[in-house]
Amino acid sequence: MKKNLLKLFKFLFTVLFLVVFIFLIKKWYPKNNIFCENPFKLEDYSDRKKLFTICEDKIYYGNELITDKNKNPEIFSAKAVIRPKLEVAIYLVNKQELIAIFPVANMFTWYASGVNIFVKENGKYKEIFKRDLDKLSGRWRGVRIVGSDSVASFDPKTIIVDQDLGDMGGNGIRVFWSDYYDFDEKNFKYVLSNYKHRMDFEQFKKNYEKLDLESCSKELPANAGLKVSDLYPTRKSFEHFCFNESLSPYISKDQATIFLQGKKAIDLILDGKNLSMDDIKNVKLDDVK
């Protein structure tokens, strides 16, 4: 009887020891955790030589917790996929550590990514910028960081959020849009700065003018030379915007409206207004001719 109790005690002690041991590994040594994985892609410019790990519902840099699923659920799940792949970039900006985490979905059909950016202050990580993958609009949506030319001291000056306003009819022509956020070194945050990126929006203007001229002629050759903006005053109430007998898929009045709102928003940005994609739906088209 005593031998059986002793065996049972040893067995329970062994199980308890293993449970405590595994718990300590998961809590204090995430880089060695069997439940952890590395990012799909990692660019580390900080020279800290620490492992970046995703452990179930927590994310660590070395043994330091960056965030978890309660704080940032969008990093761990998205409508497009159960668990997005994570691409990570780590920088030093003014001797402060900055970590950009990109949740990526649909990697083998089209590239779609959001971003969460954290800065380390007083030993803890604080989020300073976020674009939720599920809240970005369009097929070719994603976030890019543009910095200086020196890889040795990469400085992430600008975040570019690429989206689109949908397509124009059934020709697969997407109406692209990008928002630019520049780094405010004084306040250590990113601010919308579309009006400062004039060259980019001048190119957008050329692309939109080409779409304006060519879109309706693809449905009806007789419309060649007639712009969407020319037709809008008289056609804005027609569901078949370009031509009443247009076959499906065709340019709808809603597609024509959002396209012209985007086109006018570009003109306003070139005039010094600081508008984002979220502002496009509020642009008035009363004076479109």
In terms of domains, do 53 and 106 share one? yes
In terms of domains, do 72 and 164 share one? no
Asked if residue 128 belongs to a domain, the reply is: yes
In terms of domains, do 76 and 111 share one? yes
Residue 8: which residues within 8 A CB-CB, separation 6 or more? Answer: none
Q: Please give the Cα distance from 133 to 115 (Å, whole number).
A: 7
Nearest to 163 by CA among 271, 73, 279: 279
- How many other C-beta atoms can be found within 10 angstroms of the C-beta atom of residue 115? 23
Asked if residue 86 belongs to a domain, the reply is: yes
In terms of domains, do 159 and 285 share one? yes
Asked if residue 11 belongs to a domain, the reply is: no
Asked if residue 16 belongs to a domain, the reply is: no
pLDDT at position 156:
79
Q: Does residue 249 have a cis peptide bond before it, meaning omega lies within 30 degrees of 0?
A: yes
In terms of domains, do 245 and 163 share one? yes
Asked if residue 145 belongs to a domain, the reply is: no
Contact 177, 163 (CB under 8 A): yes
In terms of domains, do 122 and 171 share one? no
In terms of domains, do 161 and 102 share one? no
pLDDT at position 31:
47
Contact 272, 253 (CB under 8 A): no
Residue ranges of the chain with per-residue pLDDT less than 50: 31, 149-153
Asked if residue 186 belongs to a domain, the reply is: no
In the structure encoding, which two tokens stand for residue 98, read together? 């900055």
In terms of domains, do 119 and 38 share one? yes
Contact 29, 36 (CB under 8 A): no
Q: Please give the Cα distance from 267 to 260 (Å, whole number).
A: 11
Residue 200: which residues within 8 A CB-CB, separation 6 or more? Answer: 178, 180
Query: In terms of residue numbers, what domain contains 125?
Result: 31-135
pLDDT at position 284:
93
In terms of domains, do 203 and 278 share one? yes
pLDDT at position 7:
56
Contact 31, 60 (CB under 8 A): yes
| Predicted TM-score of the model (pTM) | 0.82
pLDDT at position 26:
54
pLDDT at position 151:
45
Task: Give me the number of domains the chain comprises.
Answer: 2
In terms of domains, do 262 and 200 share one? yes
- How many other C-beta atoms can be found within 10 angstroms of the C-beta atom of residue 256? 25
Read out DSSP for the chain? -HHHHHHHHHHHHHHHHHHHHHHHHHHH-GGG-TTEE--SEEEE-S-----EEEETTEEEETTEEEEETTT-HHHH--SS-SS-EEEEEEEEETTEEEEEEEEEE-TTTS-EE-EEEEEEETTEEEEEEEE-GGGS-SSS-EEEEEE-S-GGG--EEEEEEEEEEEESTTS--EEEEEEEEEEETTTTEEEE-GGG-HHHHHHHHHHHHHHHHHTGGGT-GGGTT--HHHHHHHHTT-SBSS-TTPPSS--BHHHHHHHHHHHHHHHHHHTT----GGGGGG---TT--
Asked if residue 256 belongs to a domain, the reply is: yes
